[in-house]
Amino acid sequence: MSDKSADLRLLLQRAIKAQIDLGMDELILTPIKESAPPRPDVVADKWPTDETKAPEVMMETPPLTQFETLEDHRLAICDCQKCSLGASRNKFVYGVGNTQADLMFIGEAPGADEDRIGEPFVGRAGQLLDRILAAIELSRQEVYIANILKCRPPGNRDPQPDEMELCFGYLHEQVRLIKPKLICALGRIAAQALLKTTTPLGKLRSRWHEFSGVPTLVTYHPAALLRFASYKRDTWEDMKLLKARYESMK
């Protein structure tokens, strides 16, 4: 066998094993496409986006300042002390990935590893997220990953409503600057915060919603998959939905 086909075989074996590890029993095979034409610029929505939503939406703090680039934004907010997590954090965890990503993943808040390193989803849940991305032929470099909260809640407790409220403008500005075409919310906390709802995750997943004018899908948090393997099947269904819409937009 030539070197090239041996490499290919190894790659395929790894990809298939990764999907089996994730509890998946079908393969996603995407046809190779010509490179996509440059996308037209998406017009950012004004905040709030939907006046028919619950009244608390209207109380959200709008982003006070609009920035030219993500890096300008990060530099302006990375010393934030608006809530008490500013005092206890190690590192401010802004976000990571392609600043012009078409697809953005939004999690809950940094954990211990993220707080130490300053990057979202680098711990065990993050490694599983990487495998989920690989299973739909995506990488951290291609997408953008951020959290609702930029600082770690002590002992990984749930984010408090006031913390999310104070931090939310930052995420909103990130979405305005990145202009993703699709968003995937990871877990209940992120999903409910983005969609301004108290509906349980199981009822939100597997269909499209909207955040800030961007089609938004909701699925289980990778940390939940580590604890409850039975969520893997549904997560895989959600990832297939996400991948299909992502491909259809190219």
Catalog residues that contact ligand URA under the rule CB under 6 A: 107-111, 114, 120-121, 123, 125-126, 147, 187-188, 201, 220-221, 223-224
Separation of alpha carbons 250 and 244, rounded Å:
10
Half-sphere exposure of 205 (CA within 13 A, CB side): 22
Q: Residue 82 or residue 91: which is nearer to ligand URA going by CB?
A: 91
Q: Which residues are paired to 186 by β-bridges?
A: 219
Q: What is the closest distance, in whole angstroms, from the C-beta atom of residue 230 to ligand URA in the complex?
A: 11
Question: What are φ and ψ of residue 87, in 5° steps?
Answer: -75, -30
Is there a contact between 143 and 103 (Cβ–Cβ < 8 Å)?
A: yes
Residue number with CB closer to ligand URA (234 or 247): 234
* Shortest distance in whole angstroms from residue 16 CB to ligand URA: 26
Q: How many CB atoms lie within 10 A of CB 142?
A: 14
Antiparallel, parallel or unpaired: β 103-107 and 182-186: parallel
Output the smallest distance, CB 177 to ligand URA, in A.
Answer: 19
Joined together, the tokens standing for residue 59 give 């109380």
CB nearer to ligand URA: give 96 or 136.
96
Complex with ligand URA: residue 6 or 208, whichever CB lies closer: 208
Nearest approach in angstroms of CB 125 to ligand URA is: 5
Which single residue brings its beta carbon nearest to ligand URA?
A: 107
